[in-house]
């Protein structure tokens, strides 16, 4: 099974926007860019919303058949590990194998020795074709890399074999992710990680490293875009070399778990994948739920009142809502508007405060991040929330489509 050159991870917490998401990709196709849709939902989201992996499969299949999409598409078991993958196996055909929890756990000493032996030949100056500088590799460095990543690569392979044993090898796209960690992996680390995965015979199709900078949920990249650019370019070239020397699949590509809306680095990514004629997987995921709130606010009346109520509850429960996302959000509580003030906002003011238009005078990144992690509040409203989604499906759908096409795809592909 091969995945197309460009693919987008589209998350949809409440499962109502599959068609609007797909229609954004159809617009891209009309503009000459083929992007494979990958509906993804993590175990954490399923737990909070009360859905199951089967629901995502149904949504994807229904969206595809009702819009007459004839291209490939996938359903991603997002950030799974051995403890929670089983319910996904039947319904998914893309697996994001998350090894963050296994990083820095010690590998078996014999395995470590084998790793050092296998990589001894790289001691000295490592040259990566396309990069002018060379990378000094010492035995100490190899030992550090083994201590940090070897066990994680072995666990990735164990999870891969578990899935392949039930589903059949070649019947799914395996990704390995290590993005939800504190420290980025350097290009050199990525090289040896790829080598270790190749030796485990994991036919890796996409890899999601942690890049330099902050990838906070729902807001723009926080970091030095220049440094990101250099690192991203090095990673692309490292992958090329790893494909050659380790025999990894030819079309192995980088996966950027964007946490959505990394507008300032999309043009950088777009330029570099064009320069090297590379594919990319971009997970844009969760901001679809924010478009639901924007659509509700824009609809006015009862729907606007519901959006205000969700904000009020999220504001009151902010500590609990933020806790599971502490690593990927930065909210300044003093910059959050009071729920009483928000109750006085009209549709435009609410939508403009939430909608991610950098530079818009009303845009508030803190407000946006809090609502982003506040989907639990909507899920607890149950029917009341779903009823409003259905009643306002058209205006919400327009916002969902516009967000993915106008703000993500256009920036990434320079349309
Ligand atoms: Zn991720």
At 286-313, the pLDDT tens digits run 689 999 999 999 999 999 999 999 999 9
**b vs e for 86-106, b when ≥16 Cβ sit within 10 Å of the residue's Cβ?**
eebbebbbbbbbbbbebbeee
Tokens of 11: 């998350």
| Alpha carbon of 204 to ligand 1 centroid (Å) | 16
Q: pLDDT-based confidence at 402, cuts 50/70/90? A: very high
| Alpha carbon of 344 to ligand 1 centroid (Å) | 37
| Alpha carbon of 218 to ligand 1 centroid (Å) | 13
Residue among 65, 77, 66, 75 at smallest CA distance from 36: 75
| Alpha carbon of 408 to ligand 1 centroid (Å) | 17
Q: pLDDT-based confidence at 1, cuts 50/70/90? A: confident
| Alpha carbon of 310 to ligand 1 centroid (Å) | 26
Over range 314-323, report the average pLDDT: 96
Provide φ and ψ at 224, rounded to 5°.
-100, 105
In the CATH hierarchy, which fold is given to the domain comprising 6-109+148-287+409-413? TIM Barrel (3.20.20)
| Alpha carbon of 42 to ligand 1 centroid (Å) | 9
Give the β-pairing of 124-127 and 134-137.
antiparallel
Q: pLDDT-based confidence at 217, cuts 50/70/90? A: confident
Give the β-pairing of 74-80 and 134-137.
unpaired
Give the β-pairing of 6-11 and 280-283.
parallel
Residue among 35, 141, 42, 122 at smallest CA distance from 88: 42
Domains of the chain by residue range? 6-109+148-287+409-413, 292-396
| Alpha carbon of 255 to ligand 1 centroid (Å) | 9
| Alpha carbon of 96 to ligand 1 centroid (Å) | 8
Q: pLDDT-based confidence at 327, cuts 50/70/90? A: confident
Length of the chain (residues) = 415
Beta pairing partners, 176: 97, 207
Tokens of 208: 């999601």
**b vs e for 28-48, b when ≥16 Cβ sit within 10 Å of the residue's Cβ?**
beeeebebbbbbbbbbebbeb
Q: What is the pLDDT of residue 285?
A: 65
For residue 277, how many other CB atoms are within 10 A of its CB? 7
At 154-186, the pLDDT tens digits run 999 999 999 999 999 999 999 999 998 889 999
Q: pLDDT-based confidence at 28, cuts 50/70/90? A: very high
Q: What is the pLDDT of residue 180?
A: 84
| Alpha carbon of 391 to ligand 1 centroid (Å) | 32
Asked whether the CA dihedral 215, 221, 223, 226 is positive or negative, the reply is positive
| Alpha carbon of 256 to ligand 1 centroid (Å) | 8
């Amino acid at each position: 099974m091969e995945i197309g050159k460009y693919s987008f991870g589209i998350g949809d917490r409440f499962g109502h926007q599959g068609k609007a998401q797909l229609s954004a990709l159809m617009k891209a196709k009309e503009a000459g860019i083929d992007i494979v849709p990958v509906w993804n939902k993590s175990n954490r989201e399923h737990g909070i919303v009360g859905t199951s992996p089967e629901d995502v499969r149904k949504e994807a299949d229904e969206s595809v058949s009702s819009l007459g999409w004839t291209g490939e598409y996938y359903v991603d078991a997002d950030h799974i590990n051995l403890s929670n993958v089983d319910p996904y196996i039947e319904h998914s055909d893309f697996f994001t194998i998350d090894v963050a929890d296994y990083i820095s756990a010690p590998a078996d000493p014999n395995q470590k020795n084998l790793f050092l032996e296998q990589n001894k030949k790289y001691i000295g100056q490592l040259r990566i074709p396309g990069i002018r500088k060379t990378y000094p590799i010492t035995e100490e460095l190899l030992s550090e890399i083994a201590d940090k990543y070897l066990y994680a690569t072995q666990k990735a392979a164990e999870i891969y074999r578990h899935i392949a044993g039930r589903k059949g090898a070649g019947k799914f796209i395996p990704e390995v992710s290590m993005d939800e960690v504190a420290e980025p992996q350097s290009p050199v680390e990525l090289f040896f990680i790829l080598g270790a995965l190749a030796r485990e015979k994991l036919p890796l199709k996409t890899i999601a490293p942690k890049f330099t900078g902050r990838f906070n949920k729902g807001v723009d990249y926080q970091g030095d875009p220049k440094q990101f650019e250099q690192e991203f370019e090095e990673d692309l070239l490292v992958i090329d070399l790893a494909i050659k020397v380790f025999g990894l699949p030819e079309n192995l590509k980088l996966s950027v778990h964007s946490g959505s809306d990394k507008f300032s680095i999309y043009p950088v990514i777009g330029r570099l994948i064009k320069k090297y004629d590379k594919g990319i997987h971009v997970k844009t995921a969760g901001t679809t739920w924010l478009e639901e709130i924007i659509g509700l606010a824009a609809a006015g009346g009862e729907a606007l009142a519901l959006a205000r109520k969700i904000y009020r509850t999220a504001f009151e429960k902010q500590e609990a809502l933020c806790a599971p996302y502490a690593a990927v959000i930065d909210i300044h509580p003093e910059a959050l508007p009071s729920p009483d003030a928000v109750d006085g906002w009209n549709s435009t003011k609410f939508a403009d405060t939430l909608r991610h238009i950098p530079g818009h005078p009303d845009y508030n990144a803190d407000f946006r991040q809090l609502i982003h992690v506040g989907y639990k509040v909507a899920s607890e409203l149950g029917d009341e929330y779903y009823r409003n989604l259905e009643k306002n499906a058209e205006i919400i759908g327009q916002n969902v489509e516009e967000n993915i096409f106008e703000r993500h795809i256009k920036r990434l592909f320079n349309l």
